[in-house]
C-alpha cells in the first residue's frame, strides 16, 4: 500500500475497488440495480485504507479486515 501511495497509484486502486464490489458480499445481498450501494462501499473501503496509511499502517491487514467486516455488517443490518 505504501508503494501505491508513493507511486501515486491509489486512484487506480479505487477504480479496482469499485469494480470489485460487484463480486462482493454486498453484491449477493443487494440487486445490481443499486449502483450507489456499491459506490458507497468502495468509498468506505478507500477511506479506511487511506486513514490506515496516514496513521502508519499500524494495524495488521487482518485487523483492518475485521474492522471493515464490522462496518459491512452494520450497513447490512440497517438496510
Which tens digits make up the pLDDT trace of 37-76?
Answer: 777 777 888 888 889 988 999 999 999 989 988 887 887 7
Which tens digits make up the pLDDT trace of 4-35?
Answer: 778 787 778 777 777 776 666 666 666 667 77
Closest CA to 40 of 58, 24, 56, 52: 24
Do residues 18 and 42 touch, judged by C-beta distance below 8 A? yes
Please state the pTM of the whole predicted model: 0.62
CA dihedral angle for residue 37, residue 40, residue 42, residue 43, rounded to 10 degrees: 170
Rounded to a whole number, what is the distance in angstroms from the first to the last CA of the chain?
A: 31
Amino acid at each position: 500500500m505504501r508503494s501505491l501511495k508513493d507511486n501515486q497509484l491509489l486512484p487506480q486502486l479505487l477504480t479496482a475497488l469499485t469494480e470489485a464490489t460487484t463480486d462482493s458480499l454486498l453484491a449477493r445481498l443487494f440487486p445490481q440495480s443499486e449502483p450507489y450501494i456499491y459506490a458507497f462501499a468502495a468509498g468506505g473501503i478507500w477511506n479506511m485504507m487511506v486513514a490506515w496509511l496516514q496513521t502508519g499502517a499500524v494495524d495488521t491487514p487482518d485487523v483492518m479486515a475485521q474492522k471493515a467486516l464490522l462496518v459491512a455488517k452494520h450497513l447490512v443490518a440497517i438496510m
